[in-house]
Amino acid sequence: MSRIEWVVGSCRLLGAISDAFDSSQPFAGKRIGTGIHLEPKTVALLMTLRRGGAEVVSTGNLGSTQLDAVEYLRAKGVHVVGGPTIDPEEHDAYLREVLSSEPDILLDNGGDLFVRYLESPYGHLLGGTEETTSGRMRLAPLRDRIGRPLLVINDSAIKQFAENYHAVGQSVLESFLRITNRITNGRRVLVFGYGACGKGVAVSFKNAFATVAVVDPDPLKRLEAHLDGFLVPERAEALSWAEVAITVAGATGVLTADDLAGLGDGVILANAGHFPAEIDVAGMKTHPSIVGAHNSAEGIETIVLEDRRRVHILTGGHMVNLNGPRPLGNSIESMDLGFALQARCLEAVALGKVPPSEVVVPVPRWIEEDVANAYLAGLRGRAPARR
């Protein structure tokens, strides 16, 4: 069995929704356009939408597309535009090609599709979903212009605790170990951003016996991090202290070339935020103080400063848990929960169950409760049979 089939077969919630969609066909006659990380778990989601009668036109996200996922989807009748790329212009052309098919519904990830839709809108767009924090921040100011139901999966309670908190932390830790093969015990780890994802990253490294510090411009977040048992040094002090620095802030330029002067020798930098702009890798590599750069191992690029300090950058600043050798991303169960929300939200939009006033809003409570109950019911099924 291939890894994709293992993942698809392990998505219990999506499997049950697919079975229901076989008869209800909520997307019959409708085209769903998407630009999302193309990897085995999104394959399970897109196949569920197909089972619901949708024609699916998809491209990937920048820097995370997995070729086997693309090939699998194409074999199953999904129209996949383009392939793996880290070139923003090429990616932009793929997104525009998805939109040129004028989908009835958009499943967006990072706001890429809705932002471009507004450049040349068409009348029959019913609405859609947005997966991420970064996308919500981009789309919220555009509410009036979008004017259609748009549900933000990230802003559901389930995604916040199941994926952002629990799963991102685990998979970033798993990725650090897998890519660097370095110890975490006693290591000084600095986390930029103490939102749901940053909290999970911080606690996962703490549970792996690292000493963890947090930098966040929000004093409430710093206070919370302190009460949770993390160090909260000033930014400059934290930079020189860190042996590992991880950005997960949903912001641009969290670490830039200006920070090179303050970093310790051998520091490892990684990004877990959605866009590869949290660490300005290009700016660092072209800074006048850099005298050399080389690949140290798959997924690790080392830049050398004129004073001989070395800075190791993981996966070119792209999301560390979806890149590097054999990337796995977040746990299957956490993504099954989030993608069950996706499938049920897209169904609600397709069936006109979400009023047009609900633009860039969290997932309706009734959908969250349905998904939570479905997951919990499955746990009962796992108990050993009574004699």
Ligand X SMILES: NC(=O)c1ccc[n+]([C@@H]2O[C@H](COP(=O)([O-])OP(=O)(O)OC[C@H]3O[C@@H](n4cnc5c(N)ncnc54)[C@H](O)[C@@H]3O)[C@@H](O)[C@H]2O)c1
Total residues interacting with ligand X, rule: CB under 6 A: 29
Q: Which of 26, 195, 276, 316 binds ligand X (CB under 6 A)?
A: 195
Nearer to ligand X, 56 or 202 (CB): 202
Tell me the sheet residues that pair with 361. 151
Q: Which of residues 321-340 bind ligand X (CB under 6 A)?
A: 321, 330
Task: Specify the stretch interacting with ligand X by CB under 6 A; choose among 83-91, 189-197, 287-295, 372-380.
Answer: 189-197
Site stretch for ligand X (CB under 6 A), options 66-74, 194-202, 282-290, 374-382: 194-202
C-alpha 368/C-alpha 11 separation (Å) is: 17
Question: Please, are residues 303 and 292 in contact by the beta-carbon 8 Å criterion?
Answer: yes
Binding mask 154-183 for ligand X (x = CB under 6 A): ---------xx---x---------------
Is residue 251 near ligand X by the rule CB under 6 A?
yes
Of 54 and 249, which has the nearer Cβ to ligand X? 249
Map the footprint of ligand X across residues 134-153, applying CB under 6 A.
134
Rounded to whole angstroms, how far apart are CA atoms 137 and 152? 10
Q: Are 221 and 194 in contact (CB under 8 A)?
A: yes
Number of Cβ atoms within 10 Å of the Cβ of 341: 27
Torsion, CA 167, CA 173, CA 179, CA 183, rounded to 10: -160
237 lines the binding site for ligand X (CB under 6 A): no
Segments of the chain assigned E as strands? 31-35, 55-59, 79-80, 105-108, 127-130, 150-152, 188-192, 211-215, 244-247, 267-271, 290-297, 300-305, 310-314, 359-362
User: 132, 175, 204, 331: which one contacts ligand X (CB under 6 A)?
Assistant: 132
Residue 290, beta-bridge partner list: 305
Choosing from 52, 63, 149, 198, the residue that interacts with ligand X (CB under 6 A) is: 198
> Distance of CA 186 to CAs 206, 209, 219, 239, 250, Å?
9, 6, 27, 17, 27
Selected binder of ligand X within 18, 66, 85, 133 (CB under 6 A):
133
Region near ligand X per CB under 6 A, out of 11-19, 58-66, 217-225, 303-311: 217-225
Residue nearer to ligand X on the CB measure, 99 or 249: 249
Tell how strand 127-130 and strand 150-152 pair up. parallel
x-marked contacts with ligand X along 75-94 as a string, rule CB under 6 A: --------------------
225, with CB counted inside 10 A (0-12, 13-18, 19+), is buried
Output 26 or 276, the one with its CB closest to ligand X: 276
Task: Quote the least distance from Cβ 132 to ligand X, whole Å.
Answer: 4
C-alpha–C-alpha distance, residues 75 and 89, integer Å = 27
> Which residues bind to ligand X, rule: CB under 6 A?
132-134, 163-164, 168, 192-198, 215-218, 221, 248-251, 254, 272-274, 319, 321, 330
